[in-house]
Amino acid sequence: MGKAWTPTSAADGVEQALKILEGKWKLVILFHLFGGNLLRFSELERAIPAITQKMLIQQLRQMESDGVVRRIVHHQVPPKVEYGLTDWGQALCPALDALLKWADLRQERRSGD
């Protein structure tokens, strides 16, 4: 809180955190889990048609081990697994929200131009 802002010191810590979000799909997935949404594997698949099963499970697993995503297993005869954000993942919401607003600005920009 009382830290002096220098681009280099900040970027140092940030670069580590950014690696967690690196990859083509991480942020896209997070946006779908945004707002406390619990989604099943198949729901995520349908929500992101362009992703393959392999990439979906791979990215989910990575984010899980990074502590961003949590996996909720319901032991049922037809297996049911839901994915959601951890508390720390929820802490990303302000950032995701700001990104969302920024994306909207782009839309206006393009239609207004």
Binding site for a copy of itself (CB under 8 A): 5, 7-8, 10-11, 13-18, 22, 24, 27-28, 31-32, 34-35, 37, 47-48, 67, 88, 91-92, 94-95, 97-107, 109
Q: Can residue 32 be called a binding residue for DNA (CB under 7 A)?
A: no
Q: What are the start-end ranges of the E strands in the chain? A: 39-40, 69-74, 80-85
The least distance separating DNA from the CB of residue 33, rounded to whole angstroms, comes to: 13
C-alpha to C-alpha distance for 110 and 36, rounded to whole angstroms: 31
Q: Min. distance of Cβ 91 from a copy of itself in angstroms?
A: 5
CB of 89 to DNA, least distance (A): 17
Size (the chain), residues: 113
Judged on CB neighbours under 10 Å (0-12, 13-18, 19+), 11 is exposed
